[in-house]
Amino acid sequence: MKYSMIGTWKMAFDGIKLGENILKNNGNIKDAIDKAISLTEDNPSFNSVGFGSLPNIEGELEFDAAFMDGNDLSFGAICSVKNIKNPIKVAIALSKFKRNCYLSSIGAEKFAHINKFEFKNMLNDDCINRWKHEIKNNFDLDNLEAYDGHDTVCMIGLDSNKNMAVGVSTSGLFLKKAGRVGDSSVIGSGFYCDSLVGGAAATGVGEDIMKGCLSISIINRMKLKQDIQSSCEDAIKEHTERFNLSKYKAGSMSVIALDKNGNFGVATNRDEFPFVVTNEFSQTKILICKNNNSKMEIFEADEKWISNYKYD
Ligand code: SD4
């Protein structure tokens, strides 16, 4: 395939559509991911990414984001940053550096300030009201779950020059403790990309994703020539089953992957996980991954599903 792109959740649709336009005109995957994820971050109607997303327990927004270039394995990542309009752009900028490419909170904000990235109050009335409503309830900090059906936006792509890259961006678990960092910015857990093999990324409960280093575990299966779909299914299934041997129940986890030829794989331990794909042969479309006893059924979202979907 000349080009291909995949993204998590229905909220990836507009961004992947933009990516499709860039890639079909022989654009670069880094540019496609930058523009596609920035578009998602800028849209206040997506509750878990960028502007107007999910506040922490103190009512503040703290973002994690990362970018990895599969050609030279360079990556940039930031965690626990506040008031940065497009965290993905800062992660991309950091990926130019061989050292000091993963920065946290004040250090990352200082880097963004010096390099003239845009700052903005990322809270809006909707997310403040969502926080005020939830904070009144009794909730268990030790058993936080991913927000109703959609959380991190992850995108992986292949361009017509065989470059591959992955980008991720999130406000993390709703009502997390201040300073809590999830899987999204952690290489090997939330994302991984090697243009000689493929890319993978994860969404869901970060603590549980990190315990299985899910993204690299998919890539390692693919390196051993396992096909991409069963690499995703086995990574999720084996890791979820490992939880069942302990006293903890696995939180929700979903993964996407793209191989060096542009084929995709996907798996979830939820009932259903929507995702978005485009490639040389298909316009951008929303697909559903349905978990049928750990075997994944994949089908296209119809009008009825799309109009009933309330989460984004
Ligand atoms: C995290 N995987 O921070 C991310 C995003 C998430 O609800 O779970 N959001 O754990």
Residues 214-232 have a mean pLDDT of 98
CA of 61 relative to ligand 1 center, distance in Å: 13
Whether 16 has a pLDDT exceeding 70, the answer reads: yes
Residues 85-99 have a mean pLDDT of 98
Specify the number of domains making up the chain. Answer: 1
Best residue for ligand 1 mutational test, from 9, 148, 152, 269 (most atoms within 8 Å of Cβ): 152
Confidence of residue 202 (pLDDT cuts 50, 70, 90): very high
Which of 149 and 269 is assigned the larger pLDDT? Answer: 269
Range of the domain at 253: 4-308
Phi, psi of 173 (to 5 degrees): -65, 130
Q: How far apart are CA 86 and CA 112, in angstroms?
A: 10
- Rounded percentage of the chain residues whose pLDDT exceeds 90: 87
Whether 85 has a pLDDT exceeding 80, the answer reads: yes
> What 3 state SS string does the chain have?
CCCEEEEECHHHHHHHHHHHHHHHCCCCHHHHHHHHHHHHHHCCCCCCCCCCCCCCCCCCCCEEEEEEECCCCEEEEEEEECCECCHHHHHHHHCCCCCCCEEEHHHHHHHHHHCCCCECCCCCHHHHHHHHHHHCCCCCHHHCCCCCCCCCEEEEEECCCCCEEEEEEECCCCCCCCCCCCCCCCECCCEEEECCCEEEEEEECHHHHHHHCHHHHHHHHHHCCCCHHHHHHHHHHHHHHHHHCCCCCCCCEEEEEEECCCCEEEEECCCEEEEEEEECCEEEEEEEEEEECCEEEEEECCHHHHHHCCCC
CA of 92 relative to ligand 1 center, distance in Å: 20
Whether 144 has a pLDDT exceeding 90, the answer reads: no
Instruction: Tell me which residues have their CB closer than 6 angstroms to ligand 1.
Output: 48, 146-147, 151-152, 170, 172-173, 182-184, 203-206
Ligand 1 nearest-atom number relative to CA 146: 7
Nearest Cα to Cα of residue 272 among 148, 145, 144: 148
Nearest Cα to Cα of residue 254 among 136, 145, 163: 145
Ligand 1 nearest-atom number relative to CA 174: 7
Residues 55-80 have a mean pLDDT of 97
Residues 105-114 have a mean pLDDT of 98
Compute the C-alpha angle 85/125/43, nearest 5°. 40
Query: What CATH code is carried by the domain that includes residue 124?
Result: 3.60.20.30
Confidence of residue 150 (pLDDT cuts 50, 70, 90): low
Residues 233-255 have a mean pLDDT of 94
Residues 189-195 have a mean pLDDT of 98
Whether 59 has a pLDDT exceeding 60, the answer reads: yes
CA of 170 relative to ligand 1 center, distance in Å: 7
Catalytically active residues are 152
Q: What is the pLDDT of residues 247-272, one digit of tens each?
A: 888 999 999 999 999 999 999 999 99
Which of 271 and 47 is assigned the larger pLDDT? Answer: 271
Going by alpha carbons, the residue nearest to atom 5 of ligand 1 is 172
Confidence of residue 112 (pLDDT cuts 50, 70, 90): very high
Whether 34 has a pLDDT exceeding 90, the answer reads: yes
Q: How far apart are CA 31 and CA 36, in angstroms?
A: 8
CB 173 within 8 A of CB 148: no
Residues 158-175 have a mean pLDDT of 96
